[in-house]
Every structure is written in C-alpha cells, then in structure tokens.
Amino acid sequence: MESVANASFQTPTGWSSGHLQTVRAQLRPGSFPLESLGLARQIIVDLDDGTGDRLSVIVHRSNRPQPTNGGRDAGVRLVVLIHGLGGSAESTYVMSTAHALLRAGFNVARLDLRGAGLSKEMSRNFYHAGKTEDVRRVLYRLASEPEALDDSTRLPSLGVVGFSLGGNVAIKLLGEPLPGLERVAGVAISAPLDLQVGSGHLSRAAFGGYEKYILRSLKRDSLQEFPGRGARVSADERRLIEQARDLADFDNALTAPRNGWQDATEYYRINSSGPFLASVERPLLVIHSLDDPMIPASPYQAIDWVELERAGFVSRAIAERGGHVGFHERGRRYRWFTPLIVNHLRASSARWQ
C-alpha cells in the first residue's frame, strides 16, 4: 500500500519513538506565559439549549501587528483552540499554540468545552467528540467581537484549531453547514477519524496505559461536585461510571445515554469525523503522524487523499513520525506543526474569494 504520508518531520536523536513524542510535554512541559503578548478577557457563552449550561472562552488580543496582504484580506483574525479528551484550555499543547499564534499577530480564543476546565462550574452536561453545536454557538458569538474583525474589511474571520478529540470536532464542524460564517478555516491535529476503530486501538496501545490515564481524568471530572450545584450525574450514572473499565464503558454509562444514543457504538458511528471530510467547504488542514500510538493509522490510509484534495478545500500534512499531538523538535520552542498552522490560516483568504 502506498503511504499517505506527504510531510517530513525529522525526529531528534533519542526522541524518535511515537510514545516519547507523545509524552514529552508531560516530562518537559515548557513555559508559555501569555500575559506579555496581549490583553485577555473572559467571555461566557450561553448555549441557549434549555440546559442552562454555559462555556468559558478566554479571548486574547495580540499586541503584535496583524499580518497584512498588500492591503487586502489577510486571512484569519481570531483563532479558536479546542482541547482534546481529558484536556482543557490550560493544556500544554493549547498554551504553546496560543503563545505562537499571538506572537504571529493572531488573536486567540481558548475554549473550555462543556464540563471541562473553567466551564465545569457552569455546566451540568459534558462534551463529546461530535458536539459541534457547542462550538458553532461559540463561533457565532465570537463573530461579533472586535478580536474577530479584519482590520481592513471589518468582516469576521475565524479559525478553528482542534487537537485530538478537538480535531474530530473541528473536521465535523467544517463538514456541516455554517450559514452566515463563510470566512472560516480549520486545522485538525491528531484527530481520530474513526471513533470505533480508535476506541479498540486505544484499549490495546501501551497495554492500555493511555486509556487508563484518560479514563481516570474523565471519571474525576464527571464525578466532581461544586458548592451550591451538587452532583452532575445521577446515582445510577455514578455507579456505572465508577465501574467503567475502559472508554467504551464510560461512553455507555454517560456519553451515549445523555445524548440519546443507544450505546457507545452508535455514538462512535454518528460522530466519527472521517465521513465529514468529503463535505468540507472551508479551508481545512489535517495534520497527523502515522506512528501515533493513540490513533490508528488505518482510517487515514483508507482515505483517497488525492481525490479529496482535488476539491480544493482539504489539504494534509501527514508524517511517518511525530506521535500524538507531539512533533517536538530539539532546540525549538514550538512544535513542528505550529508554522503549518500559521501559514494555513494566513493563506485561507485565497479560498474565501
């Protein structure tokens, strides 16, 4: 089978393993203070779906010059960053990408999905891999903010960058209708294109080590209680969550029934992002590594990327190595994919015309 890889990432000596690339940020997280790069404010987004749930978005206004394009549209102005499973807007990969984008002149919005990070205390429900309606609501809310407006055209220009589960959300979002939001571009990094295949793979990877780590985080977050709000799960849900031995058990206990699906299998089938790639009509860059220990390569290898890219909206940067949201290079502060994101978002205006 011909490799779908079309990008070259050179791993540093001693850090060539996909596992090491994946865990490096846990071992050497680095520091990415955002205060010196611009002013920040919190926006609370009411999801207006009858639940009373709200989302926290930290919006940073860059103090660096906005990229210009000869006086014409310079591409994306405000970039929304979407964390992965068990993560938050404070995750290292979110903070490092935010730091790089602010330095490059982009404004940045760090989103905590429903039930995560600063959104925990404002939500009784929880995010999942296909909950694009929440992110869509955030985009419509942010489109009216000054940070989203291009300095020359005064039109909202938005980017969506998702990591891991957030990448699945980004792809699905751009493959769905976005009426009134024509000037949107996206990037998906280490996205699980097939949730069913991915779930089985994760149970086996590293003897289940990655899955156990994520599952502990999900259990802790879902069972956490807050003063004055009480438990966010029922007694039956709590019992099933506590008994869950893998992610499929957790999704059978909480994600599927909370969202009206029969079981985890139905949840995975409906919300896998791979089938949405063919309907994307906004500039989208898909970044992935074939040695990702948490996401199997087979869903990427099953796609006819040449045919998909011929439509002009989807492009890929798939490397043989890099791990899961890894791509660490020796002597460089930012990850290999960072300039790819910057260049893609700057060039997006050419496909908005």
Q: How far apart are CA 321 and CA 129, in angstroms?
A: 24
H or E, element range at 185: strand 184-189
Q: DSSP assignment, residue 134? A: H
Q: How far apart are CA 31 and CA 21, in angstroms?
A: 18
Which pLDDT value is given to residue 228?
Answer: 76
Which pLDDT value is given to residue 229?
Answer: 76
Tell me: the pLDDT tens digits for 153-193? 888 999 999 999 999 999 999 999 999 998 999 999 999 99
Which pLDDT value is given to residue 1?
Answer: 55
Q: How far apart are CA 110 and CA 127, in angstroms?
A: 15
Which pLDDT value is given to residue 74?
Answer: 64
H or E, element range at 142: helix 132-142
Spell out, as residue ranges, where the chain has pLDDT lower than 50. none
In the chain, beta strands by DSSP E: 38-46, 54-62, 78-82, 107-112, 158-163, 184-189, 284-289, 314-319
Which residues share a beta bridge with 58? 42, 110
Which pLDDT value is given to residue 84?
Answer: 97
User: Where in the chain do CATH 3.40.50.1820 domains reside?
Assistant: 18-194+272-351
Task: Tell me the two tokens of residue 271.
Answer: 């919300």
Which pLDDT value is given to residue 176?
Answer: 98
Cα dist from 9 to 22, 29, 92, 297, 336, whole Å: 14, 20, 20, 16, 7
Q: What's the CATH number for 18-194+272-351? A: 3.40.50.1820
Q: How many CB atoms lie within 10 A of CB 140?
A: 16
- 3-class SS at 93? helix
- Assign residue 208 a region: left if phi > 0, alpha if psi is -120 to 50, beta otherwise? left
Which pLDDT value is given to residue 70?
Answer: 53
Q: Are 263 and 252 in contact (CB under 8 A)?
A: yes
